[in-house]
Amino acid sequence: MMIFSKKKIIIFIICALFATENVFSSERALISKIRFSGNNEALRVIIDSNNLIKHEISAFTNPSRIVVDLYNVKFSKDFSFPQATGVIKGIRYADFNANTSRIVFDLNESPNVKNVKVLKPSAGSIRRLSFDIISNKQTSTIKNKKVNKNYKLRKTIIIDPGHGGKDPGTSYPKVVSEKDIVLRFARILKKHLSRNNNYRIFLTREDDSFVSLSDRVSFAKSKNADLFISIHADASSSSNTKGLSVYTLSDKGLDKEAEKLAAIENSYAMVGTSYSGNYLRNARNPSDFVKYQRKLIDNRFKSTKFASTLTSRVKSKTPLLNNPLRSAGFAVLKSDEFPSVLVELGFVTNEYDRKNLRSGNWLQSISSQFVNAINEYFK
């Protein structure tokens, strides 16, 4: 009787293994159609398939384009691409690798992707992946009508935990490391912000990995960042120096003490690399120079506004450094495409700050004030 039972168990296990294999060995999803709807100011791209599609949608500039990567798909025999229209001036396709099909939508203006959705079928078997490409004219109209006050458009926030991997940042030996503190805080802040459906939140690094300064900025650009917050911890030759501070981009020599700190921070991650953001020195003609200068000035104003809001919020929960609103030439602040700040949470060389930086309760409390400041900024 026992032998018979063992045989049944073995047969059951074999059947279970076959069943499991069938569940996870899905066929390629069949793409039957890509179509457009809407008008020149807001164009919706709709991709029809017979199954859920694993996908990734990214926006790039120079040249302006939207890249759609579709994983494990194939195209129907009668499939054809629609004719370019509106903000889309051309469509390209290629097999990026054995499992990835890449579709590139070339645009005649800067990319602005919103409302990415996967719709389940209400009837039949057709599923739809859709996203909207918003024209700059439509965006300007929305801003003029102050619809943003009601959060009609989701805001993209990039949280940048400084350092990582081979770049440890500053540290207090055998007690605390900057790269670990800032990653822990960034994860907490992302979790808090993600509770608000009006925000899209991305980290420039999700683990203890090295990310160059230029890649951090490029990542923010690819996500069409509305706000970039770089998180760091400070150090000082004086153990009495403590407090949180917020930095924005400076004019050359505007703040000598801050410039020294910026030089140290930049040197951590720029050894053997060169930063290639949209500096004014890269402008190719006078009109480019004026364009970049205006965008840079506008975003510096917005950055200063957010920095002021943030310090006003956090000062009730933690000490601030003397003159907490500072400016310096940090590399990650030198993009003209979005407002950006660099926050020094505190000093690892100060006992009071060090205890706070290691305290989960303190990190949660400060994160809540960041959320309040961000909500206020986007009102």
Distance CA(132)–CA(2), nearest Å, equals 64
10 Å CB burial of residue 289 (0-12, 13-18, 19+) is middle
Shared-domain flag, residues 199 and 328: yes
Average pLDDT over residues 133-153: 56
**Backbone angles phi and psi of 351, in degrees to 5:** -60, -45
- How far lies 94's CA from each of 6, 27, 76, 98, 149, in Å? 53, 20, 15, 11, 41
pLDDT tier, 8 (very low <50, low <70, confident <90, very high otherwise): low
- Per-residue pLDDT at 13: 47
| Count of structural domains within the chain | 2
- Per-residue pLDDT at 254: 40
The segment with the largest mean pLDDT, out of 16-25, 81-90, 126-135, 212-221, is 212-221
pLDDT tens track for 326-362:
998 888 888 889 999 999 999 999 999 999 999 999 9
Q: Give the pair of three-digit tokens for residue 213.
A: 């300064």
Distance of CA 149 to the CA centre of its chain: 22
- Per-residue pLDDT at 253: 37
Q: Give the pair of three-digit tokens for residue 197.
A: 């459906």
3-state secondary structure of 198: coil
Domain termination site, one of 85, 113, 139: 139
Shared-domain flag, residues 49 and 158: no
Shared-domain flag, residues 164 and 111: no
- How far lies 265's CA from each of 168, 183, 329, in Å? 11, 16, 10
Q: Of the ranges 79-83, 86-90, 214-218, 285-289, which one carries the lowest mean pLDDT score?
A: 285-289
Mean pLDDT value across the chain = 81
pLDDT surpassing 70 at residue 139: no
Q: Please name the helix (run of DSSP H) or strand (run of DSSP E) that holds residue 7, with its range, or none.
A: helix 2-24
Residue numbers of the domain that contains 233: 154-377
pLDDT tens track for 250-286:
865 344 445 555 666 666 555 445 444 444 444 445 5
Domain termination site, one of 73, 106, 139: 139
pLDDT tier, 77 (very low <50, low <70, confident <90, very high otherwise): confident
10 Å CB burial of residue 49 (0-12, 13-18, 19+) is buried
pLDDT tens track for 10-59:
455 445 444 443 433 357 888 888 888 877 778 888 888 888 888 888 88
Report which DSSP code applies to 55. Answer: E
The answer to whether 91 and 103 have CB atoms below 8 angstroms apart is: yes
- Per-residue pLDDT at 125: 62
Shared-domain flag, residues 207 and 175: yes
18 assigned to some structural domain:
no
296 assigned to some structural domain:
yes
Bridge partner residues of 191 (DSSP): none
Q: Which residue has the higher pLDDT, 110 or 245?
A: 245
317 assigned to some structural domain:
yes
13 assigned to some structural domain:
no
SS3 content of the chain, % helix, strand, coil (to 5): 35, 30, 35
**Backbone angles phi and psi of 115, in degrees to 5:** 55, 55
Shared-domain flag, residues 178 and 112: no
Burial state string for 81-96 with b = 16 or more CB within 10 A and e = fewer than 16: eeeeebbbeeeeeeee
